[in-house]
Structure 1
């Protein structure tokens, strides 16, 4: 009996800054920022097809959205990846607790930057960040 598998090509870009923490942070920024750009590109392509036309204004708006979301998603991912690497180094372990701590700190930081009601939103951001990153880590253990 033959088995088949589907695999995707691996694209890895590595920039060596000479500092492992900065390397991890930059890697997270670039990879997740690229995902955000791809997301916006797909959304904007859908809107162009739905409208049936493309204008210079639509193109400029799409490019602006790609840049904004790429930087935002990349910055959040960079902070998270850097925090997780730092937590692993400080605690000396590589487990789900690092993801939870890093997610909570990242969620709190994101909430500080983008919130008007800072107190409760920071706590909620920390809880959400910790929960999402812990869930992602548990899912990665399944694969």
Structure 2
């Protein structure tokens, strides 16, 4: 809790106190810093995942509306990304299309939140257990998070899981090593 609201009783906090608390990372108080960190990371990343999913769908709806040929002249990364959309999403204004978008947004929100919660919890736990906050913690947390995310995709083969674990560990380690450089 921030110093301006530390003397304020929970029942009498104003909306401004809540916003100040949110900005300082005090979104939850579940009784333990590890639980607080996991919950906050999950909620914040879930929101980012939802915005990303809705933005992507809006983009593809706009592109589909402006082109008769869906792949003609489109960069390969755009046409490849379209393959990952739900089959029910066709840029229509029907209840099925809206329902598919809501399901897709929920799934992606859950995946983003899961990744952030697992990674944040693991880095915190490893820091507490090892007594160090270094690239090794990042590599381990990134690898476990990557493997876990592989389980949420359609392809749960061992090769895919190993690929995701290595990618997660590499990205996490690189981010840790580059902290403070930029």
* Range into which the TM-score falls when normalised by the shorter chain: 0.7 to 0.9
Question: Aligned match of 1:100 in 133, 136, 139?
Answer: 139
The equivalent of 2:47 in structure 1 is 34
The equivalent of 2:19 in structure 1 is none
Matched, 1:90 2:90: no
How high is the TM-score relative to the length of structure 1?
A: 0.78
Q: 3-state SS of the aligned residue for 1:123?
A: helix
Change in Cα spacing, 1:116 to 1:66, as seen in structure 2 (3 Å) is closer
Q: Distance in 2 between matches of 1:13 and 1:49?
A: 38
1:106 and 1:126 in contact (8 A); partners too: yes
More helix by share: 1
Unaligned runs of 5+ in 1: 1-9
- Alignment coverage as a number of residue pairs: 133
The equivalent of 1:21 in structure 2 is 34
Matches of residues 47-66 of structure 1 in structure 2 within 5 Å? 47-50=60-63, 51=65, 54-66=93-105
1:48 and 1:54 in contact (8 A); partners too: no
Runs of 4+ in 1 over 4 A off after TM superposition: 10-13, 112-115
Task: Give a deviation string over 1:46-96, Cα, whole Å, max 9, x none.
Answer: 234343863333222211111110001111211111111001001111222
Q: Distance in 2 between matches of 1:101 and 1:19?
A: 22
Query: Over the residues paired in the alignment, what is the CA RMSD in angstroms?
Result: 2.4
Unaligned runs of 5+ in 2: 1-21, 67-91
Larger Rg: 2
